[in-house]
Homo-oligomer: A and B are copies of this chain.
Amino acid sequence: MYSNYNQAPPRHSSYNAHPPAHGGYGAHRPPSAAYGGHQQHGPPAGADAQLWQWFSNVDSDKSGSITATELQNALVNGDWSRFDLDTVKMLMSIFDTDRSGTINFTEFAGLWKYISDWQKVFRHFDTDRSGSIEGRELAEALRSFGYHLSPQILRLIEIKYASQPVANGYGPPPGITFDRFVRACVTVKTLTEAFQRVDTDRDGWVTIGYEQFMSIVLSAP
């Protein structure tokens, strides 16, 4: 028997919140007032004025919806680096609920809250205020979310999501910028949950075919 994941409550956790969830936020807002194929060029009735301003700033061509390129141009990390395309695509896959390929104002409300919540998480675990998440900070964050990962797996995550190649013995580790930290956490969650769905007897082992294996991996962000 072998078990090392997510079966015990988080220990030594100083962070009582869970990683940001994305279920249903914005779902209770009224649909936009656009009709007849015309695009919406003003805020819907009752819209938050500040949120509408942010939306309009991101929607640089004023089309009424945000493309991946517009979102990527708008989102920057603390060091002013742009978000990776893969993070932008991950965010859009979560919040583009009507699968139009773009983000409308209603969808944007959920996206904006999600990013804001993750920023709080990032700042909480960036204990040395370096603007990036290094090895021990990463371990603490993932542990507080309930993932009991070995030092080897934590090291692989640190290397994969670092904002620069990790050199052996040359200087400090480069750390993980905000957008890659979010993607790392969502990827660990997605992969762990997919594994657990196959591991029906919860012993930490699965028997899995090539097709399902590839499907799980390629479905993660």
Q: A residues touching B (Cβ–Cβ < 8 Å)?
A: 2, 4-5, 67-69, 84-86, 89, 92-93, 96, 99-102, 149-150, 152-153, 156-157, 160, 162-171, 191-192, 195, 199, 204-211, 213-215, 217-220
Contact = CB atoms under 8 A, between A and B. Distances in A.
A164 B68 contact: yes
Given A153-B211, A153-B218, A195-B213, A86 B86 contact: yes
A157 to B, nearest CB: 6
Contact of A215 (B69, B156, B211): B156
A191 B171 contact: no
Contacts of A218: 153, 156-157, 160
A208 B208 contact: yes
Contact of A207 (B86, B206, B211): B206
Given A68-B164, A210-B195, A215 B85 contact: no
A165 B94 CA distance: 11
Contacts of A93: 165
Interface centre among A89, A162, A199 (most CB of B within 10 A): A89
Contact of A149 (B149, B192, B214): B214
Contacts of A214: 149, 153, 156, 191-192, 195
Contact of A86 (B84, B96, B153): B84
Contact of A220 (B85, B171, B207, B217): B217
Contacts of A206: 207-208, 213
Contact of A209 (B163, B165, B191, B204): B204
A206 B198 CA distance: 13
